[in-house]
Amino acid sequence: MATGYQVIARRWRPKQFHEVVGQDHITRTLENAIRQQRIAHAYLFVGPRGTGKTTTARIFAKALNCEGGPRVSPDDNSPICQAIMDGSCMDVIEIDGASNNSVEQIRQLREDCQYSPSQCSFKIYIIDEVHMLSVGAFNALLKTLEEPPSHVKFIFATTQAEKILPTIVSRCQRFEFRPISEEKICGQLSLIAKGEKIEIDDTALKSIARLANGGMRDAQSTLDQLISFCGKSITEKDVLEVYGLASRKEIHHLASLLAQGDYPKILAAVDHLADTGKDLYRILIDLQTYLRELLIHGIRSGGETNRLGLPLTVESLMRMNDALHRGKEDVKMGLSQTVNFEVTLLRAVEQSRTRSIDSLIKELSGMAKKAPQSPAGKKITGPAGKQGSSPPAPPARETTESTANPGPRNRETPETVEKAVQNLPKELRGAMDELFRVEYTHVESLPHQNISPGKAG
Ligand SMILES: Nc1ncnc2c1ncn2[C@@H]1O[C@H](COP(=O)(O)OP(=O)(O)OP(=O)(O)O)[C@@H](O)[C@H]1O
Ligand SMILES: [Mg+2]
């Protein structure tokens, strides 16, 4: 049975510039171009899927061709605007670049453009997925694109600008569509829900927006699907269940376990997530986004954050996030998603902890710098000095000088530092060895008796 149902994404397609969400930098420029009558002959709209490229191209075509146009706010009730919107206007020609990409088709287009528009001021060609045109087709278009007849305008749209010949790009005005912020997607979804008489939690809206990754069409399709699943009332639980997402609380909990380095609890949490059918790849993305929030909080609070229940430095959060990022592909492509997910989390813990080794190394170098000077004014050096251009002073002499002239005593002695290194968990020393082999060797070989003023001699 045909129902004639039209999806939300189509019914809620913006009809005017001011309705396009999150692309103000583009709509403002186009509106100004219309007001100032500075309309170029070719435009290139670039950006991720479902962010408003085709929509804006249609609004722009309407603005140029409407009665009394070009006008910033075309009258949607006029016959020409109606015809443009339902695709029956002869002078606004939408071409799918994916299926009309041959040289012959572009030659035909070149011939057609010579004829005047039948009912409007301009003949406007909107070519979607323009990156799919063959090289021959692009070349056949070059001359026309350089100097089209004055009644012809081109609007190209693509998600992959890098595949378009630079000679084509340079003949167009280029507009970059941005991923739409979660906040703006929530705002638009809330408007749609009101219009559709759907009850939906704010947290549910946020989860849908999170899933959409900046694409408004994806967000609207998700909402459509959820309405089919839940009816007129949608909660966060529904969204999490249908799409296998973890709640913010669960993400926070997992991040806390990583910060504590509690391996048994991490393994138990992974089992639980896998058993409840969660999308582990998505959880990694959400975990990264969450750690990024903490990172920003840490930077703003002077280099450290306590939001996970214990002090975490920005550096260790960065290492943790980096490890999650590196594990993402494995989790996405790997045969055993759960195992890869588990390993990625454990690696994140280990990497975040290597920071303490790093700081030890820095501390040791600091101590080496503070070490007493030889009479010649030369600092007593550790292995760093060995690698440097000037040869280190003879050890026997340094020892004597150090005894004669003890410098200010550091709070950490080489013994305490070395003990701290020895006391680190075995796994951590392993990770350190792998990640910081050079520095590690450096630390191990530091002649402690030489760099400690109190101990020397
Ligand atoms: N910026 C936006 N503001 C409001 N709605 C939008 C926006 N972008 C997309 N939409 C919604 O998504 C639907 C699809 O948008 P559109 O066709 O313009 O995307 P697109 O950028 O051309 O995507 P694609 O690259 O997949 O062709 C629209 O009908 C509209 O409902
Ligand atoms: Mg499109």
* pLDDT value for 86: 83
Separation between Cα atoms, residue 129 and residue 97, nearest integer Å: 5
Inter-residue contact 157 to 124 (CB < 8 Å): no
Strand partners, 200: 234
Domain formed by 8-176, architecture = 3-Layer(aba) Sandwich (3.40)
Q: Which residues contact 201 (CB under 8 A, 6 or more apart)?
A: 234, 235, 236
73-126 pLDDT, tens digit per residue, is 999 999 999 999 888 899 999 999 988 888 988 999 999 999 999 999 999 999
Question: Which residues, by Cβ under 5 Å, contact ligand 2, an ion?
Answer: 53-54
Task: Annotate 362-375 with b (16+ C-beta within 10 A) or e (fewer).
Answer: ebbbebbeebbebe
pLDDT value for 332: 86
Residue 220 CA to ligand 1 centre (angstroms):
10
Rounded Cα distance, 255 and 79, in Å: 57
Adjacent-strand bridge partners of 234: 200
Residue from 303, 315, 302 nearest 355 by CA: 315
Residue 112 token pair: 């057609």
Q: Range(s) for CATH 1.10.8.60 in the chain?
A: 182-243
Please determine, looking at this structure, whether the domain spanning 248-353 carries the CATH number 1.20.272.10: yes
CA distances for 329 relative to 38, 123, 332, 333, 335, angstroms? 46, 46, 5, 6, 11
Q: Beta strand 233-234 with 304-305: parallel, antiparallel or unpaired?
A: unpaired
Which amino acid residue places its CA nearest to atom 26 of ligand 1? 49
**From CA 391, how far away is CA 368, in angstroms rounded?**
16
Atom of ligand 1 nearest to the CA of 23: 1
ω into 70 cis (within 30 of 0): yes
> What CATH code would you report for 182-243?
1.10.8.60
303, burial (CB in 10 Å: exposed 0-12, middle 13-18, buried 19+): exposed
* Beta-carbon count within 10 A of 215 CB: 20
- The DSSP letter of residue 144 is H
Residues in Cβ contact with 175 at an 8 Å cutoff, skipping those fewer than 6 apart = 26, 29, 43, 44, 45, 46
If one residue of 10, 12, 13, 132 were mutated to test the ligand 1 pocket, choosing by the most ligand atoms within 8 A of its CB, it would be: 13
pTM of the model as a whole:
0.74
- Each residue's pLDDT, cut to its tens digit, for the chain (457 residues) gives 556 889 999 999 999 999 999 999 999 999 999 999 999 999 999 999 999 999 999 999 999 999 988 999 999 999 999 999 888 899 999 999 988 888 988 999 999 999 999 999 999 999 999 999 998 999 999 989 999 999 999 999 999 999 999 999 999 999 999 999 999 999 999 999 999 999 999 999 999 999 999 999 999 999 999 999 999 999 999 999 999 999 999 999 999 999 999 999 999 999 999 999 999 999 999 999 999 999 999 999 998 999 999 999 998 899 999 999 999 888 988 778 889 999 999 999 988 887 556 666 776 777 767 666 555 444 444 333 334 333 343 333 333 334 434 444 445 666 776 677 677 766 666 655 555 544 444 445 555 554 444 443 3
Q: What is the pLDDT of residues 382-412, one digit of tens each?
A: 333 334 333 343 333 333 334 434 444 445 6
Ligand 1: distance of its center to the CA of 358 in Å? 47
pLDDT at residue 264, as a whole number: 95
The ranges of the chain annotated as CATH 1.20.272.10 are: 248-353
Ligand 1 near 132 CB (within 6 A): no
